[in-house]
Amino acid sequence: MSTPTLSAPTTLRHARILGLGGYRPERVVTNEEILQFIESSDEWIRQRSGIVTRRFARDDESVVDMAEAASRQALDRAGLEPGQVDAVLMATVTHPLQTPAAAPILAHRLGIEDPAAMDLSAACAGYCYAISLANDMVRAGTADTVLVVGVEKLSDFTDKHDRGSAFIFGDGAGAAVVGVSDRPGIGPTVWGSLGDRADAITQRESWTDLRSEMEAEGREAGIAWPAFVMQGQTVFRWAVFSMAPVAQQAVEAAGITPADLAAFVPHQANMRITDAMVKALDLPPHVPVARDIAQTGNTSAASIPLAMSRMLDEGEAPHGGLALQIGFGAGLVYAAQVVEMP
């Protein structure tokens, strides 16, 4: 008996971002507030990172709450109802439950019935990873409309006494609706990972190590919360030297030149990393560059959609223009692609 041939789509469709949304928590946290816990100065933080303020979520505000607000805005701007979404990809490393994932909970909150839904752990590259997957899903016909969310509540996983990281991180959510298009709206993704550098940004210890400590020392022993720690200089050097070539490759893979770009939206890790990339890429001066880090801090998976939303909202970047976006962070992982802005 011969094996039957499975049915599979033979033609690819085009996909693009139909709508973008963002959510920043209400509470603005100044450098002065951060300085209550670390030996540093407002001037040092501004000069070395470019950060002036960041936002922290309320204690009772979750990644799902923030994701819901950003998603509703993205759907509204795409002119779609939640019921039209058939897959939800949520990029986050700060959903505080090992399981269930945040994506099905978000989908239920939004009233999306029975979608494919999962979380994706790729830190500051998570949003670009998810955009790549959503693009492929729509192109191949696995889904018609994919809700992509990048969301973090980093304040839950930051050690406010660690001067190497306390001033960097913030909270927020960004969302994109990816759907069927009459033209290519998401270019090829250039991505990769370097697991040998896994210790460059990491949770201080694993949950199972924490459990062992609690069992050995008892609950009252003052055991430290496993916050995120990073080797700032290692990450900084890697980003500055290795990420511009990746961004360049994404531009080439899209079949355009830097002069065709209407925006450059790198992950908002550090203003000096952004400056170094702009210089290395030799971006034409007419290309506006996202600098949302000054007001929003580093929000990991949320930083690119938040920064792009701000540029569109403030008229700094044109709707329909091409943007180069690149995410990079803990893993180490990275991903870059050119997208048509909605």
| Contact mark string toward ligand COA, 114..153, x via CB under 6 A | ----------x-----------------------------
Partners of 120 in beta bridges: 91
Q: Which is nearer to ligand COA, 146 or 201 (CB)?
A: 201
Q: Indicate whether 302 belongs to the interface with ligand COA (CB under 6 A).
A: no
Reading the block at residue 240, the tokens are 């500055």
For residue 308, the minimal CB distance to ligand COA (Å) is 17
Quote the longest CA-to-CA distance of the chain.
76
Give Cβ neighbours of residue 19 (< 8 Å, ≥ 6 apart).
73, 74, 75, 76, 77, 78, 79, 80, 176, 177, 342
When binding is defined by CB under 6 A, the residue of 62, 155, 158, 270 that contacts ligand COA is 270
Report whether the peptide linkage leading into residue 332 is cis, meaning its omega lies within 30 degrees of zero: yes
When binding is defined by CB under 6 A, the residue of 9, 164, 192, 245 that contacts ligand COA is 164
First-to-last C-alpha distance (Å) of the chain: 51
Q: Indicate whether 37 belongs to the interface with ligand COA (CB under 6 A).
A: no
| Contact mark string toward ligand COA, 316..335, x via CB under 6 A | ------------xx------
When binding is defined by CB under 6 A, the residue of 103, 201, 244, 251 that contacts ligand COA is 201
Reading the block at residue 264, the tokens are 């450059």
Give 205-230 as a DSSP string: S-HHHHHHHHHHH-TTS-PPP--EEE
Q: Is 298 a catalytic residue?
A: yes
Distance CA 205, CA 122 (A): 18
Site stretch for ligand COA (CB under 6 A), options 4-12, 40-48, 175-183, 210-218:
40-48
For residue 189, the minimal CB distance to ligand COA (Å) is 18
Torsion angle of C-alpha atoms 70, 50, 328, 332, degrees rounded to 10: -120
For residue 62, the minimal CB distance to ligand COA (Å) is 22
Site stretch for ligand COA (CB under 6 A), options 96-104, 164-172, 212-220, 304-312:
164-172
Reading the block at residue 154, the tokens are 């980093």
Size of the site for ligand COA (CB under 6 A): 21
Distance CA 78, CA 68 (A): 15
CA 115 to chain centre: 22
Q: Indicate whether 274 belongs to the interface with ligand COA (CB under 6 A).
A: no
Helix segments in the chain, DSSP class H: 31-34, 42-49, 63-78, 102-110, 126-140, 207-217, 232-253, 271-281, 293-296, 303-313
Catalytic residue among 124, 128, 135, 270: 124
Closest CA to 292 of 251, 260, 325: 325
Q: Is 124 a catalytic residue?
A: yes
| Contact mark string toward ligand COA, 69..88, x via CB under 6 A | --------------------
Site stretch for ligand COA (CB under 6 A), options 43-51, 95-103, 141-149, 185-193:
43-51
For residue 17, the minimal CB distance to ligand COA (Å) is 23
Q: Indicate whether 257 belongs to the interface with ligand COA (CB under 6 A).
A: no
Q: Is 108 a catalytic residue?
A: no
By CB under 6 A, name the binding residues for ligand COA.
38, 40, 44, 48-49, 124, 163-164, 167-168, 201, 230, 232-233, 235-236, 269-270, 298, 328-329
Question: Which residues does the annotation mark as catalytic?
Answer: 124, 267, 298
